[in-house]
Structure 1
Amino acid sequence: MNTILITGCSSGYGLATALHFHTKGWNVFAGMRQPDALSDGVIPTSERFQPVALDVTDPASIASALQRCGAIDVLVNNAGIGLFGAFEATPMSTVREVFETNTLGTMAMCQAVLPQFRHRRSGSIINVTSSAVLAPMPLVAAYTASKTAVEGFTASLALELAEFGIHARLVQPGYAPTTRFAVNGSERMQGLVPEAYAGYARRVFAMLTQVEHVTAEAEVADAVWQAATDVNGPMRRPAGADAMALARSGAS
């Protein structure tokens, strides 16, 4: 029976992906910063589904989580934080916070699992980025930069890991209004749209509410499933109708 560790499972894509793999019969370790904060009934009562305390910015937390998980077959780096606002008004401390989780957290998790994968000469790493890497979007410059860095990192990493039978893949979700992207980052985003940018930001928000095609959590979960089970498939998998349209248009 295969075992998977997924980061960022408290809600959204991570939780949907964890539940999807559980229904497929996998052992699932669902990493999240505060497992005790989940409401009853959100996760299945099953020996094959284990919430794990995991903060990808904390080396001790990573080591503890991996010790609990033991041998895993697949790592999914989904943990991330969002950011929306004018870059001019964004403190560099906030930019660093975004990179610490989205980029360095992903890299730290990869580095932590590689010894066991290399020893077994098998394993898959799936890094979740964003359709923001497929086409530029305004007012998410720092966030886009953090995800674009993961794309370059993964493309290079895949080449060196192929020598050991290890696969590295990317899943690129589109815009999903049903996730907690904005809610989770609301405090961080306070004051990032100053008056000079207010009118422009309103137009951007209005544009987002009129988007015809969006992404559902289940579509991302399925894309991760395909990336994990089809080792001969493409390295990059757009997830959601909007992301797939961007990929087809060659907007990147």
Structure 2
Amino acid sequence: MKTVLITGCSSGYGLETARHFHAQGWNVIATMRTPQEGILPRSERLCLLPLDVTQPDSIAAAVKAAGPIDVLVNNAGLGLFGAFEATPMATVREIFDTNTFGMMAMAQAVLPQFRARKSGLLINVTSTVTLAPMPLVAAYTASKTAIEGFTESLALELAPFNVGVKLVEPGYGPNTRFTANGAERMQGLIPEAYAPFAQAIFAGLGNMTAVTTAEDVAEAVWRAAKDATGQLHYPAGADAIALSRNT
């Protein structure tokens, strides 16, 4: 029976991925900044742990409490919509702290056990903004694109140790809490000069029929975890799959 540690399980992709792996018979360590009882089933195969991926002490405590794991799913992330011109650099750094440096720090925390064991898999969840440019998400795109390059390079250096590295790239998920979780952070990021352009972009997103669900992402992560081939990129969602075919 294998064990997976998943970051960012309080809602959306992480929560559904935890449910999916548990349903498949795995031991699941579901982490979130503030563990919430009741969002996942009570089970001997499921453990909730507090984890803030921006805090080294929190990472060390969670990894120690988790014990040996077979798969790390780096899912925790922050969203950001807004004109880059109006985005404070403090906000940009906040996005990078979680989306980029948090993922790197988690990888660094578990790789010693993977390397020593000569087995293990790291799955980084990014976004299809890395496949096709999208306006009003420049800082967010930068944070996710950095992880794509990081993952591609890391896969090469870990191959001699039989440690796998993969990317799951979700598309646009309107039913997640991406916007709600970042509402306060996004206040004032659409100045008047950008308003007409932003309204057109938001209208276009509202008219999309091919989108990504949390179930799509959970299934893609599961597929990546089970796939023994050298495939690196796993688009998740109908829109993501369509984009990947055109890149």
TM bracket (short chain) = over 0.9
Q: What amino acid sits opposite 2:9 in the alignment?
A: C
Equivalent residue for 1:136? Answer: 133
Q: What amino acid sits opposite 2:34 in the alignment?
A: Q
1:147 offset after TM fit, Å? 0.2
Distance 2:13 2:189 in 1: 25
Structure 1: 5+ residue runs without aligned partners? none
1:231 offset after TM fit, Å? 2.1
1:221 offset after TM fit, Å? 0.3
Distance 1:130 1:17 in 2: 16
1:39 offset after TM fit, Å? 5.6
Equivalent residue for 1:198? Answer: 195
1:233 offset after TM fit, Å? 4.8
State yes or no: 1:207 paired with 2:201. Answer: no
Distance 2:181 2:6 in 1: 18
Equivalent residue for 1:174? Answer: 171
Q: What amino acid sits opposite 1:29 in the alignment?
A: I
State yes or no: 1:90 paired with 2:118. Answer: no
Equivalent residue for 2:25? Answer: 25
Equivalent residue for 1:7? Answer: 7
- Contact 1:169–1:227 under 8 Å retained in 2: yes
Q: 2:147 aligns with which of 145, 150, 153?
A: 150
Equivalent residue for 2:115? Answer: 118
Distance 2:8 2:158 in 1: 24
Q: What amino acid sits opposite 1:17 in the alignment?
A: T
Q: Percent identity over the alignment? A: 66
Distance 1:231 1:96 in 2: 36
**Cα RMSD, aligned residues only:** 0.7
- Contact 1:174–1:239 under 8 Å retained in 2: yes
Equivalent residue for 1:240? Answer: 237
Structure 2: 5+ residue runs without aligned partners? none
Tell me the TM-score normalized by structure 2.
0.99
- Contact 1:227–1:233 under 8 Å retained in 2: no
Structure 1 residue ranges, 4+ long, deviating more than 3 angstroms after superposition:
none
State yes or no: 1:220 paired with 2:190. Answer: no
1:93-131 CA-to-partner distances (Å, cap 9, x unmatched) read 100000000000000000000110011000000000001
Distance 1:101 1:231 in 2: 29
Aligned residues: 247
Distance 1:229 1:191 in 2: 43
Q: What amino acid sits opposite 1:81 in the alignment?
A: L
State yes or no: 1:59 paired with 2:56. Answer: yes
Distance 1:119 1:96 in 2: 33
Q: What amino acid sits opposite 1:21 in the alignment?
A: F
Distance 1:233 1:128 in 2: 17
- Contact 1:73–1:124 under 8 Å retained in 2: yes
Q: Secondary structure at the match of 1:5?
A: strand
Tell me the TM-score normalized by structure 1.
0.97
Residues 12 and 93 from structure 1, CA distance in 2 versus in 1: closer, same or farther, beyond 3 angstroms? Answer: same
1:47 offset after TM fit, Å? 1.2
Distance 1:59 1:231 in 2: 31
